Amino acid sequence: MSGQAREPHQLLMWARDEEAERHDEDRVEEERIIQQALGILESRCMSGEAMRNPPAVAEFLRLKLGDLKNECFAVLYLNGRHELLAYREHFHGTIDCASVYPRVIVQTALEVNAASVIFGHNHPSGIPEPSEADRQITRKLITALAMFDVRVLDHVVVSIKGAVSFAERAIL
């Protein structure tokens, strides 16, 4: 504050501006930390270490997709040793659905020479409970990929509050 006297409303506005600036700095720092954590998880995924650990896969997907405002369907493409070949966010939808096209997933699996895949998508509602539509598209994708000897290891539904693994619930 400069040496001149300020009116009470000016002081209030100055305090609000200072608080907003601190809040923006905090959000920038939080985003930097999240990006750093994603980098660590991605390096573990590339080595195959995390892909054999369902909680680590769920956390990776939760960090990637959990806070998105619209549904997003992503696929982790893995080699025979469960090392990450590619991560793709294929389909973006609305607040409560995303259209998923098996052809695109099969095509990418063949392009990257994947031996297996893990699906992930978010529920912007904050409730990661799988819907019947989630179960149906998973069955459809398992059938399509099986024709090319690509195994589906898991489908993880995430939200900002948590994650649900189809494999851990024996839904696959």
pLDDT at 46 over 70: no
Q: What is the pLDDT of residues 69-90, one digit of tens each?
A: 999 999 999 999 988 999 999 9
In Å, how far are 93, 99, 121, 131 from 71, measured between CA atoms?
5, 9, 7, 13
Residue 108 binned pLDDT confidence (cut-offs 50, 70, 90): very high
In Å, how far are 23, 63, 139 from 143, measured between CA atoms?
48, 29, 6
Report domain extents, the chain: 38-165
pLDDT value for 49? 62
DSSP string across 15-58: HHHHHHHHHHHHHHHHHHHHHHHHHHHHHHHHHTTGGG-HHHHH
pLDDT value for 95? 93
Question: Residue 159 pairs with which residues in a beta bridge?
Answer: 162
Question: Are 119 and 60 in contact, with CB atoms under 8 Å apart?
Answer: no
Is the pTM for the entire model greater than 0.85?
A: no
CATH number at 38-165: 3.40.140.10
Query: What would the mean pLDDT of 126-148 be, rounded to a whole number?
Result: 97
DSSP letter assigned to residue 149? T
